[in-house]
Amino acid sequence: MPKLVRKINKAKWLQIDIETSKDVSADAITLCLKTNQNCLSVWRIETDRELENAVLAIVSAQDRLEAIDIVVLDESALLKSRIEIDISPGLTPVSDLVNHHRDLKNLTLSKLKEISTLIVEYLLFDESRDRTKCPNSKVRITKRQTLDIIKNGIDKKLLKTGDLKESVKEEVFKIFPHLRVE
């Protein structure tokens, strides 16, 4: 079943006790669900095995490398909430992944509330109890893992080092000096 991947800042979602208050901080909404022309950018994957590709699409476009949190939303749950999903080219240097991008479009405050409710549900979900409900719904990617994902993308020829931002390229070469500049 298709899923949609979005980078979030988990700490912003936990500024308020989301389990007891049933509310989230304004920072979580304004920073993690920042829209452009009433659209929210996500990356579509067909299976959990494709998660690394979505992360590659995200981290390869960043200005600097850092640990990131991602949430993996069930596409059908968004559709059930009447969230429109549009195919749109993604901004990533990984040309093979550009068409895996989607926009959640025509968003309103009430639709953002639906999305935030799903994110809270996934953040609170205890995967140790039931991995069938929302497996891999939230994932922390360390800085080292982002570097490994970029290196794997380069090794698979999905990405060229020359397509990375200068600061990211410098960090990649520090850890993997044997990579050549393309």
* Mean of pLDDT values over 12-38: 90
In a domain, 125, yes or no: yes
Whole-structure pTM value:
0.90
Separation between Cα atoms, residue 47 and residue 24, nearest integer Å: 29
Cβ contact 147:65 at 8 Å: yes
What is the domain range of residue 63?
3-144
Choice among 4-13, 137-146, 173-182 with the minimum mean pLDDT: 173-182
List the structure tokens of 78. Answer: 């968004």
In a domain, 158, yes or no: no
At 43-87, the pLDDT tens digits run 999 988 899 999 999 999 999 999 999 999 999 999 999 999 999
What's the total number of domains in the chain?
Answer: 1
In a domain, 80, yes or no: yes
At 140-169, the pLDDT tens digits run 899 999 999 999 999 999 999 999 999 999
In a domain, 168, yes or no: no
In a domain, 53, yes or no: yes
Q: What is the CA radius of gyration of the chain?
A: 17
